[in-house]
Amino acid sequence: MKYWDTETVEILHSDDETVVVMLEGEPPEGYFVSEDIGYHPTSPVVARDGYLFIEFVMPESKMGDLWQSLDERDVNYDVLSITEGYDVVDSLTARQREILTVAIERGYYDNPRRCSLTDLADELNVNKSVISGVLHRAEGEIIKDAIGDPRDSETVPHP
């Protein structure tokens, strides 16, 4: 097992049960799995007894990518639990949720539309192409979650 090669360790908090530290340096390979799979761990990532405890919120269809990344990085791991209850909204960024909320409130998704991309961009004080890109990525996440992505092969959860 590769431990975190730290350059500095700063204790941010400590009490009888917990020590919160900030580590600077090169983390172990398992830490980079989130970059491989495109999902970021929930906070906090816990380091205890030489192990990282990392929780991800992702659709079941993406779990195969997680197992593959862990295996390719030669990470020794144990799955402590898998729970139901995934909500695609949890996989959206805060900015995607914000822009989707404004779009829904202003009637962008109504038929007929009650506002345009330009209207949304003006209200949010950003470029129209930014709004279009954020909405496109968020819509893609939601649609793929709802009906699946036929490009994904069927994956069997790793034991």
Model confidence at 113, pLDDT cuts 50, 70, 90, reads: very high
Tell me how far CA of residue 27 lies from CA of 51, 62, 103, 111, 138, in angstroms.
Answer: 12, 24, 39, 50, 30
Alpha-carbon distance 1 to 7, whole Å?
19
Alpha-carbon distance 82 to 17, whole Å?
26
pLDDT above 50: residue 66: yes
- pLDDT confidence of residue 115: 95
Mean pLDDT, the chain, rounded, equals: 81
pTM of the model as a whole = 0.46
Cα 26–chain centre separation: 21
**pLDDT tens for residues 35-64?**
888 877 776 777 777 777 888 777 777 888
Model confidence at 149, pLDDT cuts 50, 70, 90, reads: low
Model confidence at 4, pLDDT cuts 50, 70, 90, reads: low
Domains of the chain, start order: 5-72 (no CATH), 89-147 (1.10.10)
Give the residues across from 24 on adjacent strands. 8
